[in-house]
Amino acid sequence: MNRQRLIILGAALGALFGAAAIAAADMQITGAGSSFDNPFFQRAFYEYSRSVSGVQVNYQSIGSGGGIQQFTAKTVDFGASDVPLQPAEMKAAQASGGDVVQFPVTLGGVAVAYNVPNVNTGVKLSPDVLAGIMLGDITNWNDAQIARLNPGVPFPNLPIVVVHRADGSGTTYIFTDYLTKVSAQWKTKVGNAKVVNWPAASSVGAKGNEGVAGQIRNTPGAIGYVELAYVLQNQISYAQLRNASGQFVAPTLQTVRNAAAKKPNVNPKDFSIVNMPGAGSYPICGYSWVMLWKNQPDQSKGKSLVGLFRWLVTDGQTFAVRVNYVSLPSNVQAQAAKALASIRT
């Protein structure tokens, strides 16, 4: 009786771990960071493991801040962030693993998304009004300043709830970079970082672009900022913003591309593409970056990493458009390829 039970238990465990051993892949790469990138990365890495190479890329969307931290702790093979490493972060990383190579992998827009019952997508916002909402000076959707920009739109008497990121976020960096450039008050009161103190009295934090998009969807009166792909995939309403040339522009792949074209050369020290001039430029855009160690500790994994990203910044860009990201401009692709060539494996 006892022996029978042991045999049953043993067989079950054996089957479990046996299945495990069979299913193991030839090469697995682990990455973490930006949730801005996540829908594009998931799709591209999925296709890569299926049709390009057997390399499986496990990417976890933990936010840019987390990505930088885990990369520096060397618990992941690559990190992704919508902001290149800042000087202090670079110092910490170099102390941990030597020189870091950073290159852009995707281009996207940050949409100002909202949930106001009976109000359609495309509400017009000026930089002042947007900053006013985010600063907590404008607290209700029926505020005269919003109505003045949107004649005829039936705004309800509904308190505004600002939804922002709770984790260290490159999307927050891009959004506050924009607000800092268009609002002197925001610049002195809040500033520009991956984590800021949100001044609006009625505000809630959520984890990741996923969480912010979900929170906006579930909260009438909410307004927040998320990567464009998230609002397009989830039918969330988003605003048109008045750009530096005085035009109201909705975020689309084309208006993001227009903005990026105004600044053809970006590098890890000069990367901001918010508030770009040009009538057709959407004002809140950004590149997202991947970090790799210049001297790869594991030769074969290093080769796989370089191969993966060489594909991602060139052929892999075809999947960007399919999930509502902008494919990298060809000159930026060339810059990324050059950076990759400097990695020693």
Separation between Cα atoms, residue 77 and residue 261, nearest integer Å:
31
- How many residues are recorded in the chain? 345
Separation between Cα atoms, residue 116 and residue 306, nearest integer Å:
45
Binding flag, residue 187, other proteins (CB under 8 A): no
Binding flag, residue 279, other proteins (CB under 8 A): no
Residue 11 tokens, joined: 């067989």
Is the CB of 142 or the CB of 233 nearer to other proteins? 233
226 DSSP 8-state letter: E
* Member of 7, 13, 184, 279 binding other proteins (CB under 8 A): 13
String of contacts with other proteins for each residue 16-45, x by CB under 8 A = xx-xxx-xxx--x-x-x------x--xx-x
Is the CB of 68 or the CB of 339 nearer to other proteins? 68
Is the CB of 200 or the CB of 229 nearer to other proteins? 229
CA neighbours closer than 13 Å in the CB half-sphere of residue 296: 19
Binding flag, residue 323, other proteins (CB under 8 A): yes
Nearest distance, CB of residue 229 and other proteins, angstroms: 9
* Member of 104, 170, 211, 302 binding other proteins (CB under 8 A): 211
Which residues touch 13 (CB under 8 Å, ≥6 apart)? none
Is the CB of 127 or the CB of 168 nearer to other proteins? 168
Please give the angle made by the CA atoms of 58, 63 and 64, to the nearest 5 degrees. Answer: 100
Is the CB of 71 or the CB of 271 nearer to other proteins? 71
Backbone angles phi, psi at 112, to 5 degrees: -90, 105
Binding flag, residue 321, other proteins (CB under 8 A): no
Question: Residue count at the site for other proteins (CB under 8 A)?
Answer: 45
328 DSSP 8-state letter: P
Separation between Cα atoms, residue 235 and residue 223, nearest integer Å:
14
Binding flag, residue 230, other proteins (CB under 8 A): yes
CA 286: distance to chain centroid? 9
Nearest distance, CB of residue 267 and other proteins, angstroms: 29
Separation between Cα atoms, residue 122 and residue 240, nearest integer Å:
5
Residue 88 tokens, joined: 């202090």
* Member of 3, 5, 188, 269 binding other proteins (CB under 8 A): 5
**Contact region for other proteins (CB under 8 A) — 2-10, 115-123, 161-169, 186-194?**
2-10
Cβ density class 150-179: b for 16+ within 10 Å, e for less: beebebeebebbbbbbbbbbbbbbbbbbbb
Q: Among positive and negative, which fits the CA dihedral 218, 223, 248, 174?
A: negative
Nearest distance, CB of residue 305 and other proteins, angstroms: 14
Three-class SS of residue 62? coil
Residue ranges in contact with other proteins by CB under 8 A: 1, 5, 8-9, 13, 16-17, 19-21, 23-25, 28, 30, 32, 39, 42-43, 45-46, 49, 56, 58-61, 73-76, 206-208, 210-211, 213-214, 217, 230, 233-234, 236, 322-323
